Amino acid sequence: MSFLNNDPKPSEDNSAAAEIASGARLIPRITIQAFCEHSQTAQLVESAVHDRRMSKVALTTHNGGIEGAVETYRSNPTPNLIIVETGGGRDEIMASLERLAEVCDASTRLIVLGHVNDVVLYRELIRAGVSEYLVLPANAQSLVSAISDIYVADGAAPIGRSVAFIAAKGGAGASTIAHNVSWAISQTLRQNVLILDMDLPFGTAGLNFNQDPPNGIVDALAANDKVDQTMLDRLVSKAASHINLLTAPATLDRTADFAERDFEQIVEMSQKSTPVVILDLPHVWTAWIRHTLATVDEIVIVAEPDLANLRNAKNLADTIKALRPTESKPSLVVNKVALPKRPEIGAAEFADSVDCKLLGQIPFDAALFGTAANNGQMIAEVSSSSKINDIYRAIGLHVTGRTAPEAAGKASSLKLSSLFSMRRKAG
């Protein structure tokens, strides 16, 4: 009996030079059918689709366990992967799998969910060609990890970590922070960073790095399925040591309407060649923005400390947590703190209200940021001694998985209750 050629699981990268936590590898577009004996197991399998690694997978559940699978595949083609639950003992399981093997294609992979914790049984199943045996009760994460291990090529290199920056409100400064954090990562960790400017009509990555490359992300999109690693490398422009850009055209000669998965291939291909991929997302809400946020490794919401930003940040955070129930919460950066004469919500209270980890609060400095923007420079280039650079470094370390810093930067501000009180008086 053989469901597959037994492939050893990929070895972990134990290199001491691995500076950055690698990104999660998405499971390829496959079909999975599960045959369960108990409703709790069916719920476990169905909950696995909420893991972002399963975003491409088509999964259905059925009743009947192994015998149900045997009957189904007598007259139907088998999917890429079958998951079966069995409550039997060793001899019963092996006999049932013999019958299942007779009706399955040779390329079909199999995961068995059992109730017997027996190392001898496990070894027999693996020798027989079963891809994995999980002892119930298990959790959705262990099931997804087992599926991922099956479809990761032997010896595959780790992929880059994807980090998305998105503003809670237009003008909050998400692009500026994304670019400066990219600079901090490249200079502090000496790792290559690729910035994807995904705001095609109004993107500022080219301006902020004083670059005007002839090609960019729109050319990769236009190539559609024809884009490959060689083509992508040609479209990327070098902005500084360890920093590359895939810039937006920033023109209005075409509309920026995209399907849900239009950017998916570009992001995945970028992760294969670069340790850190920074996604500079526009302040819009579309199907492709929603899908992108559901699949990246880290999300940073950038907001100013006012009520409109608070409402939008709360909506964003709640939606992201619903999209990614098995992932960590999005992080928060409060920008333009201590704007003269503006009533503000305290950064800590802001973060508590939206239920996000506060990575830092960046003070308003019109002269410093204005000079950097006009010169096409990063803050560290204009003023290497500015304390703001420490905040960018702390954010960079966090999003690359190096550390989880306490919120950097302090500024006095009004309490949320005080702000609401002021608004009531003004009304």
SS (H, E, C) the chain: CCCCCCCCCCCCCCCCCCCCCCCCCCCCCCEEEEEECCHHHHHHHHHHHHCHHHCCCEEEEEECHHHHHHHHHCCCCCCCEEEEEECCCHHHHHHHHHHHHHCCCCCCEEEEEECCCCHHHHHHHHHHCCCEEEECCCCHHHHHHHHHHHHCCCCCCCCCEEEEEEECCCCCCHHHHHHHHHHHHHHHCCCCEEEEECCCCCCCHHHHCCCCCCCCHHHHHHHHHHCCHHHHHHHCEEEECCEEEECCCCCCCCCCCCCCCCCHHHHHHHHHHCCEEEEECCCCCCHHHHHHHHHCCEEEEEECCCHHHHHHHHHHHHHHHHHCCCCCCCEEEEEEECCCCCCCECHHHHHHHHCCEEEEEEECCHHHHHHHHHHCCCHHHHCCCCCHHHHHHHHHHHHCCCCCCCCECCCCCECHHHHHHHHHHHC
CA distances from 133 to 124, 237, 420 (A): 10, 47, 56
The values of phi and psi at residue 298, to 5°, are -135, 145
pLDDT band at residue 11 using 50, 70 and 90 as cut-offs: very low
Q: How many CA atoms lie less than 13 Å away from 23 in the CB half-sphere?
A: 28
Rounded to whole angstroms, how far apart are CA atoms 329 and 306? Answer: 21
Mean residue pLDDT of the chain comes to: 87
Rounded to whole angstroms, how far apart are CA atoms 299 and 331? Answer: 6
Bigger pLDDT: 6 vs 219: 219
Q: Which two tokens stand for residue 404?
A: 């989880």
* CA terminus-to-terminus distance, the chain: 77
Q: Which of 354, 386, 347 has its CA nearest to residue 180? A: 386
CA 46 to chain centre: 21
Which pLDDT value is given to residue 419?
44
Which pLDDT value is given to residue 14?
36
Q: Which of 238, 179, 168 has its CA nearest to residue 203? A: 179
| pTM for this entry | 0.80
Minimum mean pLDDT range among 89-98, 198-207, 300-309, 343-352: 89-98
**Residue 337 clears pLDDT 50, i.e. is over it:** yes
pLDDT band at residue 406 using 50, 70 and 90 as cut-offs: low
Strands 237-240 and 243-246: antiparallel
Q: Which two tokens stand for residue 28?
A: 């390829």
Which pLDDT value is given to residue 253?
86
* In contact, 149 and 132? CB cutoff 8 Å: yes
pLDDT band at residue 409 using 50, 70 and 90 as cut-offs: low
For the residues 181-197, what does the mean pLDDT come to?
A: 94
For the residues 361-374, what does the mean pLDDT come to?
A: 96
Q: Which of 312, 218, 329, 313 has its CA nearest to residue 263? A: 218
The angle formed by the CA atoms of residues 200, 359 and 290, to the nearest 5 degrees, is 35
- The string of pLDDT tens digits covering residues 128-166 is 899 999 999 999 989 999 999 888 765 567 789 999 999
Which pLDDT value is given to residue 156?
67
Which pLDDT value is given to residue 215?
87
Which pLDDT value is given to residue 5?
37
Which pLDDT value is given to residue 412?
43
pLDDT band at residue 421 using 50, 70 and 90 as cut-offs: very low
pLDDT band at residue 408 using 50, 70 and 90 as cut-offs: low
For the residues 76-103, what does the mean pLDDT come to?
A: 91
Which pLDDT value is given to residue 19?
59
**Residue 426 clears pLDDT 90, i.e. is over it:** no
Share of the chain above pLDDT 70, in %: 89
